Amino acid sequence: MLKMTETLLVERIGGKGDAVARGPDGDVFVAGALPGERITAAVDGDRADLVSVEAASPERVTPPCPLFGRCGGCALQHWAAEPYAAWKRGLVETELRRNGISAPVAPLVPAHGEGRRRAILHGRRGPGGWSVGFMARRTHDIVPVDACPILVPALRDAAPRIAKAVAEALGGDKPLDIQVTATAGGLDVDIRGHGPVSDGKRRVLGETARHLGLARLSVHGDVVASLAPTLVRTGPADVMIPPGGFLQATAKGEDALGALVLEGIGKAKSVADLFAGVGPFTFRAAQRAKVHAAEGDAQAVAALLRAARDTQGLKPITAETRDLFKRPLVAAELAGFDAVIFDPPRAGAKAQAQALALSKVPRVVAVSCDAGTFARDAAILAGGGYALVSVTPVDQFLYSGHVELVGTFEKAAASMKKRRMLG
């Protein structure tokens, strides 16, 4: 389809970071523009490519990365900090309002810190060899990178170099996803997309890991070489993270979320931590309360329990491997807890929220990486007599449309009294 060149006035930034302008046939989404700007764009339906900025916004700043606009990893490096922060806070307010939830939303907490401590690079083999980098916006094309300024110093230029080296060592023609994580013992690399590897290839990869000075190298979570402890500081504990396992994007972000969770549980003496991962909130809460952790990933639970045994000064910690999507903790199991923390994946925790709504737990603290599913779960809790008393957005995914948040719920006294009368 032929793209038509149009002059457009940008009205706002959409939920994923694209600018939204009014086109001849409705809203048009265009990357790289800002509210109030008059632009020339090549329009194709509801999408457009920015051709030029005819009248720039005073909020426009120079992007810190030379690949901005080509690499799809960042959407908003060109926007000044204050309006950017207000926009991210507004994403949370919009989703709450859409779900009929009224609650005070605090200002956005900056939590980028030194940068992201994990990167997933994509590798594709072409006629000229391996190309490794990040995907271009809205395509599967690879934008090769030599360095990335939003990563922690240990990863900024090392992650692309190491990802390319392990791709070349593994070989084959399949597209690869290469996850590189900074740990106290060095870089931890997990390769996805290849499938099982032969004994000969394992030896080659092991030698590559030693040559690169990696802490660990795995393929689809299968450890090929383990040369140093892959420890990550999690509150008061040092956790040996599983290969390819989940980790909060930034250390400062985890600290910010952890502080908000502790504030939310207050003086609780018995806490359930659901979707606990390797324990970023378990260990912080266990400094003041006994904690039961539930998590679907058995390796994460094993890592959590191992760290709990090795950490002094904590209240008792128990843990179980449990699929909380299929088998949430029900009201009878929740009865002994003063507070519940839950931190589900982006899909949210609908089943667990429904079970919590039927419980008598006085306080629930929800951590989320998706404002939409958080608001949906908040509406479920509200239907069970919970009031959302505070919401704080946290920005550890700098320059993106992703926003973390922590919400604290309290069981309404009237609802509690009614349930006692009925029960």
Does 369 qualify as catalytic in the annotation? yes
The answer to whether the beta carbons of residues 208 and 165 sit under 8 Å apart is yes
Residue 229: strand pairing partners: none
Residue 154 to residue 303: CA distance in whole angstroms: 24
Q: Which long-range contacts (CB under 8 A, 24 or more apart) does 56-61 make?
A: 59/34, 59/35, 59/83, 60/34
Burial (CB < 10 A; 0-12, 13-18, 19+), residue 241, is buried
Residue 290 to residue 270: CA distance in whole angstroms: 5
List 71, 74, 148, 369, catalytic entry: 369
Q: Which residue has the tokens 């994460």?
A: 300
Hey, which residues are catalytic here? 369
